[in-house]
């Protein structure tokens, strides 16, 4: 008979004793000569074994009634429980430490040789031998540990170990990310991790799901390893029943349950069967599944950085990387740091490197530069290495096969939209949701589906990006030209709408999409669309400093215009080519383009174009130092622009006229022109032109020593330039701010501005600002007596200035270099420098002429020729006074000291 228990409480100690031996309730019942129902009721605390069965239980497990929780302690009405083994249990029923991977088959001969099994109690006859399971379970389905240690994942592995150790059945961990990003590799590494194996002392279960998982087979395997008898398993008719049975079999065991490559939340949840001492690790390519199943425990696995990817490639194919590291780095960049892609190409390169023949390595690197080749590079995988997403018969793994698994699960509508993504440039570029909807010709649900599958990645509110390998895949599979046509039309409409409103931020945000549309228009022979888009987008390309790209597309436009005998199109192309050449400091080439374009515009009687070419010629001549001719061009262009009421061009010409006036020493006229131009630019909302006018006004005040007002102009201009992303004007304003602080003796802050401006000027390939900023850095280093650095900066600046051929820039560099020579008391070299300066500047350049004379005067004084020193010093001072130049006081003081010496 069984005694009822008045206050039912689970007998944890009794359950633990059974679980440690990996016995099912049926097996315990067989050994005791009772039913599994009775054993279940005893463990749940519904009934209490009578004295006869209590004695048999103690003999079976080799434990006392107290250690099995079968009677209450004196003075207590509760069933004793414990979480740690008692001393008696530790002596009588030792639990072996984790051992190498074993399976149920390894111990199918029974428990006779198991040192942990207690002697068969007297009077209890065991049933016929039944398959047993080891105390520690290491699922044979766990893939082999990766041959190469994971690169760039140490911090992530540390965090995952910590979470798994402190988690439990309710604290799930889920890894999600792109196909091939290394989710399974991370899980395998954790499954073999000694620290985790020690923590999960009862073992690790593994279930590889994939899109079509064999759920009954996986559950059956887990059930067998957990010791559920064949008869019990035969009675399980649903996934829910299986889950309950497996959870009961796990009981209080400490297990890690790995659910790899889950494609549906339902499949993943079937295997969420661990008890309170278990942890679950789920991997999936679907972010929605990861968040739904693990909440805060979801971790998005990112690709490797370029440096980490190169490190991995070096481990796999050291000879190939040593042969051409730059090309190897390009390959890592091309696959976006995806670990699977790097592993596949690394193994391929290693195979091609075994002979040591340079020719084969180079050929392999060249082959892999082709996206299609990279997609289909494959390698065989053994049965134990089969990816759960791939069919069992799939013996080769490649990027193509891994991505295709997701592709094959899409319906026709979504797949069509997926392939249309091929027209977008991949990471790190992004595109708007509006662009995605228009170009894929789909709806929000389709976009959401692509995002949920991980094929389309979110990169901010209303923006998306596509990984490099996914982009390669869809480009290979896209056969329809319609997405390209939709891209071109979308770009044209977008640019034309936002160009009218000076919406710089919107144009910049979609720059990569617009540039892709330009390439598509050219590739697909959409000539009219190409010309239209170039005309609309060239100003933005110049503002962003995309000079080589702008030149490429304008030349394509010119080629089309000439083929079609379109004089208007050719005229536009000549204007843009002149502007590009001017931006790059190619003044002779710029002038040639402008003159050819002006002649064509006059033939066409195109007033708008005539004014534009005159503006370009005026600026070019100003830069070359021919101020008289520059003013002639600019005044004619201004007259036409005002007749046409073209306020934008009027503002530009006024800015150029102000620059001409400044170089001629007429600062009042300069200020008049600049302020009038600024007023117009503000009226029409032209922030680009406002920037440059603020910069020029600030420079004018700075030259006069009006530093407070100058800084206000510069800071307003810099804020605006940063808002619109005008990299040329940002660089120029930083240069001017640096000059301002240099003039006030704050060399550290000046150098900071100069360095930032130089970095930007180099990025966009703007040779003028690069030379100017190098000159400024040389000037600052000289003031700090860092003569070695000053000389290096000035030499580089001078080389560049001579290449550009702009007298003002070359003259300024020579002036600073001459000053450096004087500081180092190298007066002979200083004399040579100032003589060169005088030969390249014109008399119209009054500020540079005055500075050159000051240099000549100091050299003369050093040579003992006081009379000549005074002569040139007086000439310099008079000119500087007329211009109200900031150097005036310095020259006055110098002259005063020379006169004292003479007297």
Q: Do 689 and 651 touch, CB atoms closer than 8 A?
A: yes
- Beta bridge partner(s), residue 279: 256
Give the SS3 label for residue 205: strand
Task: Please state the rounded mean pLDDT for residues 142-158.
Answer: 88
* Per-residue pLDDT, 383: 61
Q: Name the strand (E) or helix (H) holding 260.
A: strand 255-260
Q: Where are the beta strands (DSSP E) in 471-593?
A: none
Task: Please state the rounded mean pLDDT for residues 498-525.
Answer: 88
* Per-residue pLDDT, 820: 94
Neighbours of 526 (CB within 10 A): 20
d(CA 880, CA 874): 10
Q: Do 180 and 469 touch, CB atoms closer than 8 A?
A: yes
* Per-residue pLDDT, 684: 92
Segment 15-34, tens digit of pLDDT: 888 888 878 888 888 888 78
With a cut of 50, say whether residue 109 has pLDDT above it: no
**Concatenated DSSP letters of 74-89:** TT--S----SS--HHH
With a cut of 90, say whether residue 724 has pLDDT above it: no
To 10 degrees, what angle do helices 12-20 and 51-61 make?
A: 40
Task: Please state the rounded mean pLDDT for residues 347-365.
Answer: 87
With a cut of 60, say whether residue 284 has pLDDT above it: yes
Task: Please state the rounded mean pLDDT for residues 33-37.
Answer: 78
* Residue appearing with tokens 């001459």: 818
Q: Name 618's Cβ contacts closer than 8 Å, sequence gap at least 6.
A: 630, 631, 632, 633, 634, 637, 653, 656, 660
* Per-residue pLDDT, 126: 45
- Percent over 90 (pLDDT), the chain: 58
Q: Name the strand (E) or helix (H) holding 364.
A: helix 358-368
With a cut of 50, say whether residue 379 has pLDDT above it: yes
Structure tokens at 484: 């390209």
Mean pLDDT of the chain: 86
**Range name among 411-420, 596-605, 760-769 with the lowest pLDDT average:** 760-769
d(CA 678, CA 755): 28
Cβ burial of 8 (10 Å; 0-12, 13-18, 19+) is middle
Q: Do 543 and 527 touch, CB atoms closer than 8 A?
A: no
Q: What pLDDT band is residue 48 in, cutting at 50, 70 and 90?
A: confident
Checking phi first, is residue 210 left (phi over 0); if not, alpha (psi -120 to 50) or beta?
Answer: left
Closest CA to 843 of 887, 807, 805, 802: 807
Segment 75-95, tens digit of pLDDT: 333 333 333 333 323 322 333
* Per-residue pLDDT, 753: 96
Structure tokens at 413: 């509508």
Query: In three state form, how does the secondary structure of 837-891 look?
Result: HHHHCCCCCHHHHHHHHHHHHHHHHHCCCHHHHHHHHHHHHHHHHHHCCCCHHHH
**pTM for the whole structure:** 0.69
Segment 383-395, tens digit of pLDDT: 656 666 666 655 6
Give the SS3 label for residue 301: coil
Task: Please state the rounded mean pLDDT for residues 506-533.
Answer: 93
Q: What pLDDT band is residue 237 in, cutting at 50, 70 and 90?
A: confident
Q: Do 180 and 338 touch, CB atoms closer than 8 A?
A: yes
d(CA 737, CA 754): 8
Q: Name 632's Cβ contacts closer than 8 Å, sequence gap at least 6.
A: 618
Task: Please state the rounded mean pLDDT for residues 688-698.
Answer: 94
With a cut of 50, say whether residue 172 has pLDDT above it: yes
Cis? peptide before 793, omega within 30° of 0: no
Q: Name 753's Cβ contacts closer than 8 Å, sequence gap at least 6.
A: 734, 735, 737, 738, 741
Greatest mean pLDDT among 165-169, 341-345, 351-355: 341-345
Q: Do 435 and 410 touch, CB atoms closer than 8 A?
A: no
**Range name among 271-280, 388-397, 868-877 with the lowest pLDDT average:** 388-397
* Per-residue pLDDT, 101: 36
Q: 457-458 and 463-465 as β-strands: parallel, antiparallel, unpaired?
A: antiparallel
Cβ burial of 708 (10 Å; 0-12, 13-18, 19+) is exposed
161 phi and psi, to 5 degrees? -60, -45
Q: Do 754 and 773 touch, CB atoms closer than 8 A?
A: yes
Closest CA to 845 of 668, 674, 661, 705: 661
CA dihedral 751, 753, 755, 760 (to 10 degrees): -170
Closest CA to 171 of 257, 271, 277, 279: 279
- Percent over 70 (pLDDT), the chain: 89
d(CA 587, CA 618): 12
Task: Please state the rounded mean pLDDT for residues 497-509.
Answer: 81
Checking phi first, is residue 685 left (phi over 0); if not, alpha (psi -120 to 50) or beta?
Answer: left
Segment 759-785, tens digit of pLDDT: 999 998 888 899 999 999 999 999 999
* Per-residue pLDDT, 167: 65
d(CA 433, CA 444): 9
To 10 degrees, what angle do helices 306-316 and 339-353 make?
A: 30
* Per-residue pLDDT, 55: 80
CA dihedral 878, 884, 890, 893 (to 10 degrees): 50
Segment 357-373, tens digit of pLDDT: 888 888 989 899 999 89
* Residue appearing with tokens 């007002």: 709
Structure tokens at 720: 């605006």
* More reliable by pLDDT, 504 or 175: 175
* Residue appearing with tokens 């069919």: 391
- Output helix, strand, coil percentages for the chain, rounded to the nearest 5: 65, 5, 30
Task: Please state the rounded mean pLDDT for residues 550-576.
Answer: 94
Give the SS3 label for residue 357: coil
d(CA 725, CA 542): 11
Q: 396-398 and 378-380 as β-strands: parallel, antiparallel, unpaired?
A: antiparallel
Task: Please state the rounded mean pLDDT for residues 233-251.
Answer: 90
What is the CA 127 to chain-centroid distance, rounded? 64
Q: Name 837's Cβ contacts closer than 8 Å, sequence gap at least 6.
A: 811, 814, 815, 818, 848, 852, 855
With a cut of 90, say whether residue 3 has pLDDT above it: no
Structure tokens at 3: 């005694």
CA distance readout (Å), 718 to 249, 577, 722: 70, 27, 6
What is the CA 588 to chain-centroid distance, rounded? 40
Task: Please state the rounded mean pLDDT for residues 563-583.
Answer: 93
Closest CA to 346 of 305, 314, 381, 387: 314
Segment 621-679, tens digit of pLDDT: 998 888 999 999 999 999 999 999 999 999 999 999 999 998 887 888 999 999 999 99
What is the CA 613 to chain-centroid distance, rounded? 42
* Per-residue pLDDT, 844: 76
**Concatenated DSSP letters of 90-105:** HHHSPPPPP-S---GG
């Amino acid at each position: 008979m069984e005694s009822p228990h008045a206050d039912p409480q689970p007998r944890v100690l009794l359950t633990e004793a059974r679980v440690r031996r990996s016995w099912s309730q049926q097996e315990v019942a067989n050994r005791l000569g009772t039913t599994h129902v009775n054993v279940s009721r005893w463990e749940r605390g519904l009934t209490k074994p009578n004295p006869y069965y209590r004695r048999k239980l103690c003999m079976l497990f080799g434990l006392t009634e107290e250690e099995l929780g079968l009677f209450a302690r004196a003075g207590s009405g509760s069933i004793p429980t414990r979480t740690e083994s008692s001393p008696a249990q530790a002596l009588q029923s030792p639990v072996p430490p984790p051992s190498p991977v074993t399976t149920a088959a390894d111990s199918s001969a029974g428990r006779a040789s198991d040192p942990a099994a207690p002697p068969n109690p007297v009077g209890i006859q065991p049933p016929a031998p039944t398959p047993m399971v080891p105390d520690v379970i290491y699922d044979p389905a766990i893939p082999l540990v990766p041959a190469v240690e994971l690169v760039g994942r140490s911090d992530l592995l540390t965090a995952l170990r910590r979470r798994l150790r402190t988690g439990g059945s309710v604290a799930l961990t889920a890894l999600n990310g792109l196909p091939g990003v290394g989710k399974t590799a991370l899980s395998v590494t954790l499954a073999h991790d000694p620290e985790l194996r020690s923590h999960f002392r009862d073992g690790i279960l593994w279930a590889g799901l994939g899109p079509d998982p064999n759920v009954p087979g996986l559950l059956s395997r887990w059930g067998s390893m957990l010791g559920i008898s064949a008869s019990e398993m035969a009675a399980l008719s649903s996934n829910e029943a299986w889950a309950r049975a497996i959870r009961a079999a796990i009981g209080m065991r400490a297990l890690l349950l790995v659910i790899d490559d889950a494609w549906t939340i339902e499949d993943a949840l079937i295997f969420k069967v661990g008890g309170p001492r278990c942890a679950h690790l789920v991997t999936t390519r679907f972010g929605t599944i990861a968040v739904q199943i693990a909440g805060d425990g979801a971790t998005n696995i990112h690709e490797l950085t370029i440096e980490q990817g190169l490190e991995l490639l070096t481990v796999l194919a050291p000879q190939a990387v040593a042969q051409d590291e730059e090309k190897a780095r390009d390959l890592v960049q091309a696959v976006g740091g995806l670990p699977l892609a790097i592993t596949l190409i690394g193994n391929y390169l290693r195979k091609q490197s075994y002979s040591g023949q340079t020719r084969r390595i180079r050929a392999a690197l060249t082959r892999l530069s082709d996206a299609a080749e990279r997609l289909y590079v494959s390698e065989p995988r053994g049965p134990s290495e089969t990816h759960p997403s791939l069919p069992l018969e799939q013996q080769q793994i490649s990027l193509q096969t891994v991505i295709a698994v997701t592709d094959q699960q899409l319906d026709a509508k979504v797949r069509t939209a997926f392939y249309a993504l091929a027209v977008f440039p991949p990471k790190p570029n992004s595109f708007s949701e509006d662009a995605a909807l228009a170009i894929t010709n789909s709806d929000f649900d389709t976009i959401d589906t692509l995002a949920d599958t991980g094929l389309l990645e979110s990169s901010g509110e209303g923006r998306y990006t596509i990984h490099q390998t996914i982009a390669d895949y869809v480009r290979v599979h896209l056969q329809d030209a319609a997405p390209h046509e939709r891209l071109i039309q979308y770009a044209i409409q977008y640019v034309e709408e936002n160009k009218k409103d000076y919406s710089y931020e919107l144009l910049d945000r979609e720059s990569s999409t617009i540039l892709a549309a330009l390439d598509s228009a050219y590739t697909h022979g959409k000539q009219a669309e190409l010309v239209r888009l170039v005309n609309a987008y060239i100003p933005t390309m110049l503002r962003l400093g995309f000079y080589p790209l702008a030149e490429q597309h304008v030349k394509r436009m010119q080629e089309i215009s000439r083929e079609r005998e379109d004089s208007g199109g050719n005229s536009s192309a000549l204007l843009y080519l002149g502007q590009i050449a001017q931006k790059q400091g190619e003044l002779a080439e710029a002038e040639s383009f402008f003159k050819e374009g002006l002649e064509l515009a006059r033939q066409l009687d195109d007033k708008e174009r005539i004014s534009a070419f005159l503006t370009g010629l005026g600026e070019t001549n100003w830069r070359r130092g021919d101020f008289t001719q520059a003013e002639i061009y600019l005044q004619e262009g201004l007259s036409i622009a005002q007749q046409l009421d073209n306020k934008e061009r009027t503002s530009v010409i006024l800015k150029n006229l102000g620059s001409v006036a400044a170089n001629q020493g007429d600062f009042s006229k300069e200020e008049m022109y600049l302020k009038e131009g600024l007023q117009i630019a503000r009226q029409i909302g032209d922030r680009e032109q406002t920037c440059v006018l603020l910069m020029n006004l600030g420079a004018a005040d700075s030259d006069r020593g009006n530093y407070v007002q100058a800084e206000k102009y510069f800071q307003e201009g810099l804020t605006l330039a940063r808002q619109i992303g005008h990299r040329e004007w940002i660089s120029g304003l930083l240069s001017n701010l640096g000059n301002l602080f240099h003039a006030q003796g704050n060399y550290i802050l000046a150098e900071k501005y100069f360095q930032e401006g130089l970095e930007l000027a180099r990025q966009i390939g703007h040779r003028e600002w690069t030379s100017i900023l190098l000159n400024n850095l040389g000037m600052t280093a000289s003031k700090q007596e860092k003569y070695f650095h000053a000389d290096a900066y000035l030499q580089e600046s001078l080389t560049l200035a001579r290449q550009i051929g702009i007298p003002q820039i070359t003259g300024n560099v020579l002036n600073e270099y001459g000053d450096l020579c004087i500081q180092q008391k190298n007066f002979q070299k200083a004399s040579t420098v100032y003589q060169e300066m005088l030969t390249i500047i014109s008399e119209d350049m009054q500020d540079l002429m005055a500075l050159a004379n000051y240099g000549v005067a100091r050299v003369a004084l050093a040579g003992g020729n006081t009379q000549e020193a005074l002569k040139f010093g007086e000439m310099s001072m008079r000119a500087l006074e007329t211009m109200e130049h900031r150097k005036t006081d310095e020259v006055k003081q110098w002259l005063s000291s020379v006169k004292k010496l003479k007297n």
